[in-house]
Structure 1
Amino acid sequence: MSNRVIIVGGGLNGAALALALASTGQPSLLVDALPPETRADPAFDGRAYALALSSQRMLAALGLWRELAGKAERIAHVKVADGRPNSGVCGPHLHFNADELDGEGAGFMLEDRHLRQALLAAIAGQKLITHLAPAKVVTQNSGPNTASITLDDGRKFEGALLVGCDGRASAVAARAGIARQGHDYGQIALVCALTHEKPHNGTAYQLFLPAGPLAILPLKGNRCSIVWSESASRATAIAALDDADYMAALRPVFGNFLGEISLCGARFSYPLSLTLATELTRPRLALVGDAAHGIHPLAGQGLNLGLRDVASLAEVISDATRRGEDIGGALVLARYARWRRSDIAANSIVTDGVNHLFSNDNPILRAGRSLGLGVVNAWPGLRRYLMAEAAGLHGTLPRLMQGQAL
């Protein structure tokens, strides 16, 4: 079937792209290196995502939100502060209230397991999606009319377009000769989930500590997900501790504003870097999600940025199909690259700049940061603008991110 789209990478972005394409009648082949039972594991492992309002609208447009709504925690407030260990939010800070966006909120917190399960269930019910898992691509080629892949078991497949959704170390990008640029932050993110004594009231916290940002994100019940960025050397040492000593290291950083805290689920650690593909497309090839861009996790924009890639590429392909164009042709792919380039660049620059500005204990910079947060907090128009930006409501939004069908 040469008119189908071959998607390499069965994670969140790859699965969402297959479903978005299927909603338009476009067939796809989804190649996943992991077995379905691994993806569908129902155990809570501590991982969760901050879904921007535009990403939630996209999931609703794809028919997934009805199942997910009861499992998601609405982000009612966001508090941003230049903090110190054990202090929580104190002094000048920035407070976003969901009611400032017509009561819709900035977005939702959703556990990884729930999103994965919803995507897999939807894929299983879609005849236009051929799901190969586990399967590994070993070679790929782009010809004048088709793209092709060969799996490690010798099977070969052709399609009109090959899409790499295979993460920061994208083999699809590497085989195509697409280089990457960026730098290491010298930080490692420690990720886990906590139970706490006091209710969070739907409040997300972004605390900028000298060694790196600490995000405290509300989950259903008296639970939260944390992304704790520390210097690489200290984070490596903390990650090697047992659970009791890990919590002993975390408590002074976290503070006691939510009462007693305890670990729930697994612990993870991720080296932090900025890594950008120098090209989003090549002949009959496009990159999506972390395969195209890996940014700092502060503000939780990584998945949202990837879903905007998905929505944009699906719309470009859908519109090209209606016009009778070759969906893997150079002109079609150029539209996708042109649409996504500025958004990716802006998010990369902002997250990179904010991390460098706040990840230090310079007293002069600290005073300036506190003053700036206080000034922005006192300016309602600017505060609403920044909240709408975080909710993914600015720019030329793809139809799916407006809650519309393709």
Structure 2
Amino acid sequence: MAVPSGAGGPWTEEQLARAALTRLTEPGDETVGRWLRQLGPVRLARGLTGAGPPPKGASAERLAGCRARAAAADPRRDLEYVAALGGRFVCPGDLEWPGQLDDLGDARPVGLWVRGSADLRLWALRSVAVVGARACSDYGSHVATRLGAGLAERGWAVVSGAAYGVDGAAHRGALAASGATVAVLACGIDVPYPRGHTELLDRIVEQGLLVAELPPGGHPTRSRFVLRNRVIAALTRGTVVVEAQYRSGSLVTARRARELGRHTMAVPGPVTSALSAGVHELLRGEACLVTDADDIAELVGAMGELAPRRRGPVVARDLLSPAVAAVLEAVPADGGTLETVARDAGLGPDGTLKRLYELQALGFVERHGEQWQLAGPSSTSGTPKPPGRRPPARRGGS
């Protein structure tokens, strides 16, 4: 492979060099990131392929590996191939480059291969990552789908990794709500992985975005999945974990998000489930508890984007003034005189009588001669009997 000295064609010299570097190096390599910062992409690509002086500190083994990869690398061919798929290669400094990825420092991607018609930078400005277990439970799948749909309905882009389980459910929820979703892959954007998600990935290309650091044809590995997670964490305003065991990669994403100053959130699950053990560990000090899209939007959204207030149902007694409620509390279950009620309520007889009549009109209490008593068992639960329905008067007395 030779990096041309001039731009040539529709691509600049820097784009060609960065495209080449995605084949020569591994994602997230901070040593490469430091060299890239010091030398620039063109000089670095030449130094790694033997077309120029090698970067300072590069071992013979590393250089040999890069030169072996360079033998089969053709950045112009990669760029043409991706363009034919309707994709593009986005570099730092481009208008579409998400600036928040710069927070990764020397671990920042060399560039991103992208498929889909949306603008990655604009979508990333209002995005949330939803991640979790691959072998999730029905509960985890249901929650992830609801979160994906709920966030999409509120205008948030849902970012995940297109894996089985929680990732796929979050993407499907967003798609079902006709929303925005971004899949960050640990392989090339032309590689349908996992195979079972081929149809899902095709739908994401049509309605959302596929993003990858690896060049076309790049295959996934365990380390690449882990490194992919840093992009998900940096790209979004916050990360939500739905089901994760202690060693789950989703916890890596959440903790990286926290290190980057992003919001870290988690959905609790059954304490008996190993799939929620890692989530609960996060909730012990590293993450905020969320249960739905409203909770998430309140944390990551703009000022005033608040979740609705949550409370139990309002019952009739909740609407009573404090003084009237005090009188109601003072009425004995088996009845009492005005003086008894006034004493227990801490009020004068005249004020107590006025409030007793209010309570009688509302159906909370009844008067039988000198005795005041509760209208019935339903009153103690806060639901009064309808006014005007009194038991028949006893014979021989009032």
Q: Structure 2-normalised TM-score? A: 0.24
Higher helix share: 2
Q: Structure 1-normalised TM-score? A: 0.24
For the pair shown, the structure with the greater C-alpha radius of gyration is: 2
**Which structure is richer in relative contact order (CA contacts within 8 A, separation 6 or more)?**
1
